[in-house]
Every structure is written in structure tokens, then in C-alpha cells.
Structure 1
Amino acid sequence: MKIAQVLALSASILTFGAFAANDYSGPLKVGTTAAFAPPLETAVAEAKKQGLDVQLVEFTDWTAPNVSVENGDIDVNLFQHKPFLENANQQGGFHLVPYAPAIINNIGLYSKKHTAIDQIPDGGTVAIANDPINGARGLLLLQKAKLITLKPGAGLKSTVDDIASNPKHLKIIEVEAVQLSRSLDEVDLAQGYPHYLRLSKTIDPNNALLFDGFEHPEIEMQKQALIVGISGVIGRALAEKLQSEGWQVTGLSRGRGAIPEGCRSLTADLTDAEAVSTALSQEKPDAVFFS
């Protein structure tokens, strides 16, 4: 599995009505980060062929894209999952809402020093993301690996203070998520995002010691993101770009939508999170196109 699921990238907008054809005059400014710029560049080019004036704005951190939408500097962004957006709204006082998911990825635990979880030494150093939601994802993944145990009820807002047991006395350090790939030379284990590992070329993103996966019940973002689908020009261009880069893309539809050529086609009730999770856990694709 090149890229594992669960990180659902939401397009965040102030109001859907702003994009009505009769009301909007371009350019439509779309914010993103380096990891997702390549497929979006293809989507933007395709959109322009369809008569849409679209401008891609690339950011180097995960705060500025939401600030820019809130301030009206850009119209929409694509880089985050729903719980991250909800936390950003709460912490930043934003008024952003998710429009549609685009790409579903997951995270993994990576090491350049060890080839299996049980090789992580007593007192080893582990790097996780330093933001509230993605740091919790890292902790939940460490719990799945049986390296730590979290307090009962700890979920997507877990912090290191929620660690109930740490039998290997691991030193857990918090690093900006986009810099985690660079930490691999210095730590025993790091939470990793395959798309950033791809860019950094520090390690093969396929070689995680453990992925979080669809079967992980605590990852509620998985269910929230899978209920709504994306289709049309932008979604199709994204799917085709990912396929051209060697991703295994699965198309999931209600049975009526057109799936891009070359996609493995599945049918499910997109309003039923359990049905969607079941279908995709059997397929284990790198990315999912919804129609």
C-alpha cells in the first residue's frame, strides 16, 4: 500500500454560495501545501480548459491556508482533514466549513534505524506531530503498535499527558508535521505522512512499520470524510494525475456515477460510513475517487 487512507483532505470555504456561476468572478484562488500541489496543478489546468479561471496558492505551513480563507485572501483550500479543520475553527475563531473531500490517505510509523516495531529500544526517541489533532493521531498509532497505552476515552484530542503507560520509557518529542520526515535521521521512530515522504525522498513511503488503516475505530475523520463524495472536472483530474504517478486509485460510487478509466470500481451507499469503510478496507487503495 503506497499511501494509506484516512487523511481526508477537505476543501474549506466560507460559503458554498460564493461559487455560484452567476455570482462569482475569478480568479478562484485555491490554497494548498507542497504535498498536494502536483495533482492540483493538473486539476487547475483542466479546470481552465473548461473555462474556469483558477489560481493555485501554495503555503509552507498548515496555519496560513485557513487564515487566508478566513481573511478572504483566497477562496478555498485543500490540505486538511475534518477534525483538523474543526480544531482550527475552535482555536482560531474561524468560520470555515468543509465543502467536499478530495484525497483519502493515512499515516504510518517509519524508521531508518529499525525494521520492526519490536526493535524499538527501551528509552528510544519517537517523533509525533505537534499540532493538537495530528499529534493525537500519532499517539493513537503508537497505541495501536502497543508501544504506549492511552487513558480510557482518549481520542482525537489526545496529548502526551493522556499517556497511561509507556513500558519502553520512550521519549516522545513533538515536531511540526511537515518536518517529521526530516526527523527520521535523528529518532528511532517517527509518525510519517506518505505524501511528504515522497517529496523529501528520505524513506520509501510504502515501508511504514505500521499504518493506521481503515480498521482503526478511533479515527472518526475517516467516517466524516467518506460520507460526501467528489466528482466532476476537478475530482477526475486529481484521480487521473494520481494514477499517472503510480497510485492505485479506487472509484467508489452509488452505482450511477462515472468512475475514471483505470480505476477499480466499487459500489456503496455513500451516506453509510460503515458500508464505505467495509468496501475500502477490503480494497486497500492508495487513494479514492468518489462519484
Structure 2
Amino acid sequence: MGKRHKLFLSVILALSVILLVGCGKSSSESKTITVGSQGSDLEIWEHIAKSPQAKKAGLKIKVKEITDGGQLNKATTEGEVDVNAFQSWSYYEAYNKQNPSGKLSALGTTYLEPLGIYSKKYKSISEIPDNATIAIANNPANTSRDLLLLQKAGLLTLKKGFNALSNTKDIKDNPKDLQFKEIDDTTGPRVLNDVDVVLISNTVALDGGLHVLTDSIYHEKVNQSTKDNVNILATVYKNRNNKEYKKLVKLYHNKTIQKWITKKYYGTKIEVQKPLSYLKNK
């Protein structure tokens, strides 16, 4: 009995060691998070993925480029991408309204990248003449954002109830009889010579060698009126409470990483560290 008892204890001890090693391995080997992005946001997440800060946070990040926003959101809902980093709150809301069966969930805020009004012909808003042709984005969320900025600049008045899916049909008053040309919003810098005025997002402006704070004739400011344009990290709805994914938000706001972003993009990506309730409250 003594030998059998010792053998039994030895087997139990060996199994315990195997189980402990197995548990230790599973807790230390974190799942790789695939972040989908585009443009300058892609560059940012490639930097973050390789950073000591990501390693310290225990996050393994793989960055995947998808250049079309709609396809990037679709890739997120289908599991090809875990988290995406490219869209504003208004773009996200518009997407969810148009895709009720494939809704996304916001994880947290990142920055406001000011939308700018650009012109090769005019140096100020007041110089824009009657019947001027203005190029605006041809996708719903950015069309509405463009029109809101034109209203803020005093060029037109929008109807009450104007929202993320509104468009030029929802203009109440257009005193200068401005003409609108809808374009693919990634082509903004290339059409500057063809029209009087172009509205260009800062990611596209940077890619085209433009600086929103110095080259635009008017741009968004960080305040309550622009909070719908704050960028977010988003994931598929079922993963809305994933703790590892939420760590990405904290990692983005790391002081060292923010210092790199500010220097790299000349201060045009203005950090916004707010709770999601800030964006939800109208």
C-alpha cells in the first residue's frame, strides 16, 4: 500500500505541474489583435504595434490596411478585423443606421482631425463669390459634415433636424447660390485646381501635402459643435465589452505615443480623451 500510495501521489503531483504550466502558458500568451486602418491612421497603429508601450501593456497588435471605409467596417463585422481605427462618430452612426444587421460598437475616443475648407483662388471665406462651385464628399457622413462646416463658416443655413444622413436637399438657405459638386473624398487635393473651393478631411489633406491649420481658409475647432467628428475605435457589437480591445484606447492616449503623433502630424490630430457619453449626449 505504501508504494502504491507514493506512486499515486507522484502521478497527482506530475499532473498538477502539467496543469500549472498549461495555465501559465495560456495566460501569458495573449491573442493577437488585428487593427484595421487606412492612411495616416494606419501609420499610427503600425508605430503603436511596434512600440515598447504596447509590449508593456501585454498587447500583440497586427495592423491590416483596408482603404475603403465601408469595406473596413464590413471586415470588422465579419471578423476579418478585430478593431478598426479610421472613422468619426458621425460616420460610425451613419454606418450603423444603414447596416442594422451588422452594427458596430464604439470602444473609445481618439482624436479630432479638423476638416478644412481649401481654395487655390480665394484666401478667405468672405472672398468666395456667388455661384462658386464647391466640391464636397459623396458619402453620407462626410457630406453632412461638409455642409455643417459650410454653415459654421456662414455660407449657408441648414434645415432643422439636419443629421448624419442629411445632404444638399436639406439646405434651407443658400444666399450665394453656391453650386455643389460631389466627389470621392479621397481626391480632394487633386481637384483643387478644377473648382473654386474643396472641403478636405485632414487625413486626405496630409496625404496631399496640405496642412489644415496653415493651408485651409477655414477649419473645424474642437468644441461641442464638432464632437460628432471625433474619431473612435470600433469593434463588432458582440465584442463591445472586450477588455483587451479596450486597452487599445488607453494605449493610444499614452503620453509617449501622443508626443510622437503630435510631432509626426504637426499637431493636426488633436487628442480627444472623453467618455463615449460625451458623444452620445446631444
Task: Give the partner amino acid of 2:93.
Answer: E
Partner of 1:41: 46
Q: How far is the alpha carbon of 1:40 from its aligned partner?
A: 1.4
The CA distance in 2 between the partners of 1:74 and 1:230, in whole Å, is 14
Q: How does 1:1-291 map to 2 (within 5 A)?
A: 26-46=31-51, 49-50=55-56, 51-92=58-99, 93-201=101-209, 203-206=210-213, 207-215=215-223, 217=225, 219-221=226-228, 232-236=250-254, 238-245=257-264, 246-247=266-267, 273=278
Q: How far is the alpha carbon of 1:221 from its aligned partner?
A: 1.6
> Could you say if the C-alpha distance between residues 229 and 101 of structure 1 is closer, same or farther in structure 2, counting changes exceeding 3 Å?
farther
> Could you say if the C-alpha distance between residues 148 and 112 of structure 1 is closer, same or farther in structure 2, counting changes exceeding 3 Å?
same
> Could you say if the C-alpha distance between residues 244 and 220 of structure 1 is closer, same or farther in structure 2, counting changes exceeding 3 Å?
closer
Q: Which runs of 5+ in 1 are unaligned?
A: 1-20, 254-268, 275-291
The CA distance in 2 between the partners of 1:270 and 1:97, in whole Å, is 14
RMSD over aligned Cα atoms: 3.2
Q: Which runs of 5+ in 2 are unaligned?
A: 1-25, 233-245
Q: Which is worse superposed, 179-188 or 123-132? A: 179-188
Question: Are the aligned partners of 1:136 and 1:159 in contact in 2 as well (CA < 8 Å)?
Answer: yes
Task: Give the partner amino acid of 1:44.
Answer: A
The CA distance in 1 between the partners of 2:29 and 2:193, in whole Å, is 48
Q: How far is the alpha carbon of 1:98 from its aligned partner?
A: 0.4
SS at match of 1:102: strand
Q: How far is the alpha carbon of 1:115 from its aligned partner?
A: 0.4
> Could you say if the C-alpha distance between residues 252 and 67 of structure 1 is closer, same or farther in structure 2, counting changes exceeding 3 Å?
closer
Q: How far is the alpha carbon of 1:96 from its aligned partner?
A: 1.1
Task: Give the partner amino acid of 2:89.
Answer: K
Task: Give the partner amino acid of 1:209.
Answer: I
> Could you say if the C-alpha distance between residues 107 and 83 of structure 1 is closer, same or farther in structure 2, counting changes exceeding 3 Å?
same
Task: Give the partner amino acid of 2:267.
Answer: W
The CA distance in 1 between the partners of 2:43 and 2:230, in whole Å, is 26
Task: Give the partner amino acid of 1:210.
Answer: Y
SS at match of 2:221: coil
Q: How many positions carry a matched residue from both structures?
A: 235
Question: Are the aligned partners of 2:37 and 2:66 in contact in 1 as well (CA < 8 Å)?
Answer: yes
> Could you say if the C-alpha distance between residues 247 and 22 of structure 1 is closer, same or farther in structure 2, counting changes exceeding 3 Å?
same
> Could you say if the C-alpha distance between residues 205 and 153 of structure 1 is closer, same or farther in structure 2, counting changes exceeding 3 Å?
same
**CA offsets 1:28-56 (integer angstroms, 9 cap, x no match):** 11000112122211101016634533111
Percent identity, please: 26
> Could you say if the C-alpha distance between residues 248 and 78 of structure 1 is closer, same or farther in structure 2, counting changes exceeding 3 Å?
closer
TM-score, length basis structure 2: 0.72
> Could you say if the C-alpha distance between residues 22 and 187 of structure 1 is closer, same or farther in structure 2, counting changes exceeding 3 Å?
farther
Question: Are the aligned partners of 2:33 and 2:82 in contact in 1 as well (CA < 8 Å)?
Answer: yes
